A = this chain, B = another copy of it.
Amino acid sequence: MFLMNQWYAAALPRELTEKPIGRTICGQAIVMYRTASGQVVALDDRCPHRYAPLSAGTCRGEIIQCAYHGIEFDPSGACARIPHQATIPQKMRVRAYPLVERWGFAWIWMGDAALADPTRIPPYEWFDSPDWKSFYRYYHVPANYELCADNLLDLSHTPYIHAATIGTPDMDKFPLETWTDGDRVLSRRVMTDVIPGPFVAQWGNFAGKIDRVTNCEWRPACNIAVELFYEDKTNNITLRLTNPLTPETERTTHIWFAWSRNFGSNDESYVERFEQQSSSVQDEDNRLLELQQAVVDRGDPLPTVAIAADTALLAARRTVQRLLREEEATARKATA
């Protein structure tokens, strides 16, 4: 069960070309591509004729042509041509999904298209600012999207998993403040006089201990932005981690990932090292997420036991449950 009336990051703009790609979003197989005129299109990835996936087909001009029998569909999902016949059956159409490029991601709306309001795409304005240097990456992670969200919503894991990269060992002396604002879940931790992780020391040229502030914002369905501020007496740096998480299936997740920095240079060697370092941090998480999902997959019936650090992730899960109930209620009204 996924929230449907939400914007989900579905692709990086550079992936959307005249060569269609197939990707499963919230359990639905979707084909995405960019037409000759530049329009980005998302359709159900299945020719209604006989099961061939449209992602095996070809975009020609504004239409996509099925690889098997050459049936053509326009960006609205309407059939434009069936070879060998003049008439087109009414049912020969595929569902089209709103798809919008913003902030370096292409966002898809999986629910009622009439409700798809692009102003509800999370306002990640820093991607438009010259102050920030961003790089984007995509991870396919074999774990449920809520497990992936837990990881970002409770950073108390960083001294353990990320000890060798960005973890601050004595983090647990400092309380986490958590609150909600509408559908958002927010949290903040202020730390003083702590040891920075090895990567952080290098990025900020920090010789000794530092002060840190961590701010985290979660928006439904599952878009998480983390601001990491580090400073000592002579210098300060900020990292922004933008992570729209998109369920593929109940047990796999598309992790979209952009790290934006207000420090360092654009030299190729600097960029290369920074991207390698950032990715290695995510790799450390992904390894654990996969292990967690394996435990879930073996059908272990024991309940989880909550700890104090879970406040934000529990608030996010409660919000998802409430929004799911609201979607259900709306659907019931629509069919009543």
CB of A123 within 8 Å of the partner chain: no
The reply to whether A84 and B308 contact each other, CB–CB distance below 8 Å, is: yes
Would you give the 0/1 interface string for A225-267, flagging 1 where the beta carbon is closer than 8 Å to chain B?
A: 0000000000000000000000000000000000000000000
User: In whole angstroms, how far apart are the Cα atoms of A256 and B65 in the complex?
Assistant: 30
Q: Contact: A51 with B307, CB < 8 Å?
A: no
A48 CB within 8 Å of chain B = yes
A309 engages B51 (CB within 8 Å): no
Interchain residue pairs with CB less than 8 A apart (29):
A45-B295, A46-B302, A49-B305, A50-B150, A50-B304, A50-B310, A51-B296, A51-B300, A52-B288, A52-B291, A52-B295, A53-B291, A66-B160, A68-B160, A68-B161, A68-B288, A69-B154, A69-B156, A69-B160, A69-B307, A70-B156, A70-B159, A84-B156, A84-B172, A84-B176, A84-B308, A85-B308, A89-B307, A91-B303
Contact between chains at A302 and B48 (CB < 8 Å)? yes
* B83, B89, B292, B302: the one within 8 Å of A305 (CB): B89
- Select the residue from A65, A70, A294 with max chain B CB neighbours within 10 A: A70
A231 to B232, CA, bound (A): 82
* A contact residues, total (Cβ < 8 Å): 53
Interface presence of A82 (CB below 8 A): yes
Q: Do the beta carbons of B172 and A29 come within 8 Å of each other?
A: no
A51 touches B295 (CB 8 A): yes
Q: Is A147 an interface residue (CB 8 A)?
A: yes
A92 interfacial by beta-carbon distance below 8 Å:
yes
